[in-house]
Amino acid sequence: MKRYRILVTIAVAIFVAGASLTIGAQESKQSAKQAKLAKQAKITMGQAQETALTRAPGKVESSELEREHGKLVYSFDIRNASGTITEVQVSAITGKVVRIEHESKEQEEAEKKKEKH
């Protein structure tokens, strides 16, 4: 019985270590991608965030630098006073707002489910 517990403990430790390495590798790959994109940007995330907040006041819940529809943009999810999310995209090259999208509570929930998968 004691031998069984030891084997189970070792198996669990190996599984956890493997999962941690996989997550670490994914985060490292994502960081490298972000660094590569940041080198191409002409404005900083801070500058882009200021611009986004002038168009959609609220609290920034998430931000990222990404290439969308062939354009390098900073994307911000901003929660407004009524509790809904406005996504604002700011060009990382020109600093101008290129897209604003208001998300309903249903759209927000659907996006959260999609991100989990």
pLDDT score, position 18: 55
- State how many domains the chain has: 2
Please check whether residues 19 and 50 belong to one and the same domain: no
Please check whether residues 21 and 65 belong to one and the same domain: no
DSSP assignments along 27-87, one per residue: HHHHHHHHHHHHHH-SS-HHHHHHHHHHHS-SEEEEEEEEEETTEEEEEEEEE-TTS-EEE
Among 38-42, 48-52, 70-74, 76-80, the least confident range: 38-42
pLDDT score, position 46: 95
> Domain containing 103: what range?
41-117
Give the residue with greater pLDDT, 108 vs 98.
98
- Sign, Cα dihedral of 41, 73, 52, 38: negative
**Are the beta carbons of 18 and 67 closer than 8 angstroms?**
no
pLDDT score, position 24: 57
Q: How far apart are the first and last CA of the chain?
A: 38
Mean of the per-residue pLDDT values for the chain?
A: 81
Instruction: Give 50-65 pLDDT, tens digit per residue.
Output: 999 999 999 999 999 9
Instruction: Give 12-53 pLDDT, tens digit per residue.
Output: 556 655 545 555 555 566 677 777 877 888 999 999 999 999
Please check whether residues 18 and 73 belong to one and the same domain: no
pLDDT score, position 67: 93
pLDDT score, position 26: 59
- φ/ψ (deg, to 5) at 43: -125, 160
Please check whether residues 5 and 57 belong to one and the same domain: no
Please check whether residues 52 and 6 belong to one and the same domain: no
pLDDT score, position 92: 96
Please check whether residues 45 and 35 belong to one and the same domain: no
Among 80-89, 92-101, 108-117, the least confident range: 108-117
Please check whether residues 36 and 83 belong to one and the same domain: no
CATH of the domain at 82: 3.10.450.40
What is the spatial distance between Cα 16 and Cα 109, in angstroms, rounded to a whole number?
30
